[in-house]
Amino acid sequence: MVSKPRGTRDFDVYEMEKRRLVQAKMEDTFKRYGYKEIATPTIEHLELFELKSGDVIIDELYSFKDKGDRDLALRPELTAPVMRFYTEKLQMETKPLKFYYFGSCFRYDRPQEGRYREFWQMGCELIGPSNPEAIAELIALAYFSIKNTGLQDIRLCIGNLNLLKKSYLINDLPPASQAAIFRLLDKNDIDGMEQLLEQNHIESDNIIFFKEFLTSRSIDDIRSHFKRSTVAQDDIDHFDKILEFLDLFGVPTKDVIKMNIARGLDYYTGVVFEIEAPILGAEKQLCGGGSYTLVPLLGGREIPTAGFAIGFDRVMMALEKENYEFPFTSELIYVTSLDQDLDREVIKLVSQLRHVGFMVDFDLMNRTISKSLKYADKIGAQKAIILGRNEWDQGNVVVKDMQSGEQQEVKKEALESFLA
């Protein structure tokens, strides 16, 4: 027997129904914010990710040579591909551009609950504006696209890399140490960061000062940290406005500031944010995003860009853990007959109903009527149409409501409007 590759999953019909429901809800929210769908290939030139991704992603790349000796990779994420698409084809389009995508991603990671080698990301990219209302709208979209799926307990955290970089200490360190510190911050490894700072001969008073900055919980805390310098004034005002506008967009902003979000990727610039579902434990991060600079690295003209990616599988897991009741609405109609000699009439009726748009299935196994109805129940049919010789000759069929069990004779000519 051949089994599926490690870290991949099969989805049965019930899981797919749930996934499509949640996907549709998210897409609905994206569209309400004026975002439109785009798609890029599953494979890209390896170079795209080698140049543009963080170290972790590069370690986990699925890459290979094709028959023409080209180096290709399965995409580990979709921001770089979307920016490649923009740079190649869309630079002249009128701004702002608001794109959303949904696609599979591949990372050669150690598989565990919530961490797969094939997983799905749903995300948005905003190209053009970088003013506070644009960034606030993007964060609000990330928040509500998850919230509107029905998930109850989610936490939004917002940081700011400009402020982190300009904060007293980071600003004075060599770039390699800065990058290492960002990685440690991202892992919340404050002790490791402290050790590294000590190795860089940073005085302990300064380390304490920096650690205090990391615990800033409000704009006032941040302002007081920078009170000795004006280097960050514009960034603080920009950040302050984003929080104010987020409030206007309806997002709860109490305790959202978290200065140690670093996101680990070199191309992130200003505001960065994450959304978590605490119920998921270790793999609780649902979404990551922020402002970044990628287009110039890909050879395009400088332009503000920001976006986020939601781990779709984790949203599904969190909904399951919260015992979310998926609102299935089956419109399936099942046709069966009491008499073998009505088989042709069954096929004709099924075709006629399908033709006008109903979702219709019928007995393909020559089952007895009771077994046939049991099957109809199992596949979630909403109604069963039963053809019997006597009723048929009088111009009627029996329609059974599968939920209530109620049966009713309906005139053949009135059937379509009755079902509708």
Interface contacts to ligand AMP, rule CB under 6 A: 77, 107, 109, 114-116, 119, 121, 285-288, 309, 311, 313-314
Residue 107 vs 400, nearer CB to ligand AMP: 107
Q: 293-322: string of b/e by CB count within 10 Å (b at 16+)?
A: bbbeebebeebbbbbbbbbbbbbbbbbeee
Distance separating alpha carbons of residues 259 and 272, to the nearest angstrom: 9
Q: Write down the least CB distance from residue 294 to ligand AMP, Å.
A: 13
Residue 121 vs 337, nearer CB to ligand AMP: 121
The neighbour count for residue 323, using CB atoms within 10 Å, is 6
Enumerate residues 6+ apart whose C-beta is below 8 A from 199: none
Residue 7 vs 388, nearer CB to ligand AMP: 7
Q: Write down the least CB distance from residue 244 to ligand AMP, Å.
A: 26
Distance separating alpha carbons of residues 187 and 192, to the nearest angstrom: 10
Q: Write down the least CB distance from residue 102 to ligand AMP, Å.
A: 12
Position of minimal CB gap to ligand AMP: 311
Q: Are strands 360-362 and 333-337 parallel, antiparallel or unpaired?
A: parallel
Q: Write down the least CB distance from residue 314 to ligand AMP, Å.
A: 4
- The contacts found for 116-119 with CB under 8 angstroms, 24 or more apart, are 116/7, 116/8, 116/9, 116/313, 117/5, 117/6, 117/7, 117/8, 117/62, 118/7, 118/8, 118/9, 119/311, 119/312, 119/313
Distance separating alpha carbons of residues 197 and 166, to the nearest angstrom: 16
Distance separating alpha carbons of residues 289 and 271, to the nearest angstrom: 9
Contact status, residue 207 vs residue 284, Cβ threshold 8 Å: no
Q: Write down the least CB distance from residue 412 to ligand AMP, Å.
A: 52
Residue 123 vs 132, nearer CB to ligand AMP: 123
Residue 73 vs 381, nearer CB to ligand AMP: 73
Residue 129 vs 311, nearer CB to ligand AMP: 311
The CA distances from residue 256 to 73, 115, 242, 323, 366, in Å, are 36, 26, 12, 26, 61
Residue 284 vs 400, nearer CB to ligand AMP: 284
Residue 84 vs 107, nearer CB to ligand AMP: 107
Q: Write down the least CB distance from residue 56 to ligand AMP, Å.
A: 8
The CA distances from residue 148 to 26, 233, 245, 278, in Å, are 7, 36, 20, 17
Residue 114 vs 270, nearer CB to ligand AMP: 114
Q: How many DSSP H helices and E strands does the chain contain?
A: 16, 15
Q: Write down the least CB distance from residue 74 to ligand AMP, Å.
A: 12
Contact status, residue 127 vs residue 96, Cβ threshold 8 Å: yes
Q: Write down the least CB distance from residue 77 to ligand AMP, Å.
A: 4
Q: Write down the least CB distance from residue 13 to ligand AMP, Å.
A: 22
